[in-house]
Amino acid sequence: MIRFDNVSKEYRDNGNSITNALYDITLGVEQGEFVSIVGHSGAGKTTLLKMLLAEESPSTGAVFFEEVDIHGLSNKEIPQLRRRIGTVFQDFKLLPNKTAYENIAFAMEAAGRSDEEIAADVPQALELVDLGDKVWNFPHQLSGGERQRIAIARAIINQPDLLIADEPTGNLDPLNTQDIIDVLRKINELGTTILLTTHNKGVIDDLGKRVITMEGGRIIRDDKHGRYVL
């Protein structure tokens, strides 16, 4: 489903000195996998994810999504790619003046879905993340864990093939962290591929899924049933 072929990324500052963010990354992710990417800050995790979203381009090498070279797409084609990828971030990125229902519906409206589809699908998404009773709550009326579950519901409402969860539990306590991981497991079991980045050792060790460890822009470990080892 996803393939990085010998991907490197260099950044140049105004003085033309070079910073290497990624070195010769070769990596494949199959449809339906749950893959965690770990590493210290600056290891290259975020750069890797930005390349999947066509927010960054490799200096050398290529990145493929289902055999399509992401960075060979035109500006008109990139939005179509991004609609197939859901994203969840540490800081939720909810619209503060919209209810839980409206935050999720907004993503469907942006994708051109009908009012009938919105009315049918949004309640189902809220039930999937165990927030069917919070449909008309605004973000400020929700806990951090509830806001993140709304963000996940919004990310999957258009049934993406891939869900990127970039430090989704970074601002949460252990109980809410476990709730978020349980929701991500459920989504994965329904067939969505998941890429998770996290610094939480407990989460990684509990998952028992594939773990890719990065350091200094390189992959130093790739374990099928891994643990958090840095």
pLDDT in tens, the chain (230 residues): 999 999 999 988 776 777 889 999 999 999 999 999 999 988 999 999 999 999 999 999 999 999 999 999 999 999 999 999 999 999 999 999 999 999 999 999 999 999 999 999 999 999 999 999 999 999 999 999 999 999 999 999 999 999 999 999 998 999 999 999 999 999 999 999 999 999 898 999 889 999 999 999 999 999 998 878 87
What does the block give as tokens for 217?
């822009």
- Which pLDDT score is estimated for 59? 95
Task: Note whether 5 and 62 are within 8 A (CB).
Answer: yes
The pTM for the full model equals: 0.93
What domains, with CATH codes, occur in the chain?
33-53+84-223 (3.40.50.300)
User: Could you give the CA distance from residue 134 to residue 212 in angstroms, rounded to a whole number?
Assistant: 36
* pLDDT at site 226: 80
Torsion 205-211-216-217 (CA) sign: negative
Euclidean distance between the first and final Cα of the chain, in Å?
A: 27
Cα distance between residue 54 and residue 42, in whole Å: 19
- Say how far apart CA 41 and CA 13 lie, in whole Å: 20
Q: What angle do CA 36, 33, 69 make, to 5 degrees?
A: 90
The pLDDT, as a whole number, for residue 188 is 97
Looking at residue 14, its pLDDT comes to 75
How confident is the model at residue 167, as a pLDDT? Answer: 93
Q: Which pLDDT value is given to residue 15?
A: 67
